[in-house]
Amino acid sequence: MKKFTHKLIIALLFVGFISTAQQNTKKKAQKIANEMTQVLDLNRKESKAVYQVQLNRFNEGKSIKSQYSDQPEVRKEKLRLLGNRVYNDLKAVIGIERLKQWKQHRKNK
């Protein structure tokens, strides 16, 4: 019984840790989407799409970092390709002009 209780506590802590990590990812994606919405005057549809792009970016980035933790060159290349895809996804959602405005805003920040 004692071993079962110990395993249950460990399992609950593990689930809590994963849940917190997912919430942090969602918060980061939402923060960026909110800032972009405010700065670029995005509509609701565009804002949701930006959130989804950012959420996918953080989740895939985390996956790449863990999967290729022992292969720094491969990890670097995969993250670079992810960055390119995020850029193209954002360009498709908000357009090149707004993306330039966002880049300028981030540079001035």
Distances (CA, A) of 55 to 2, 9, 10, 33, 49: 40, 30, 28, 10, 10
pLDDT score of 104: 95
pLDDT band at 80 (very low <50, low <70, confident <90, very high): very high
Q: How far is CA 10 from the centre of its chain?
A: 27
- Please check the confidence at residue 81 and state whether its pLDDT lies above 60: yes
Q: What gap in Å lies between CA 74 and CA 82, rounded to an integer?
A: 12
Residue 14 to residue 99: CA distance in whole angstroms: 39
Domain, as residue range, for 63: 2-108
pLDDT in tens, 44-78: 999 999 999 999 999 999 999 999 999 999 999 99
Place of tokens 């670079």: 80
Q: What band does 24 get if pLDDT is binned at 50, 70 and 90? A: confident
Backbone angles phi, psi at 49, to 5 degrees: -65, -40
Residues of the chain with pLDDT > 70: what percent? Answer: 80
If one counts the domains in the chain, the total is 1
Average pLDDT score over the chain: 87
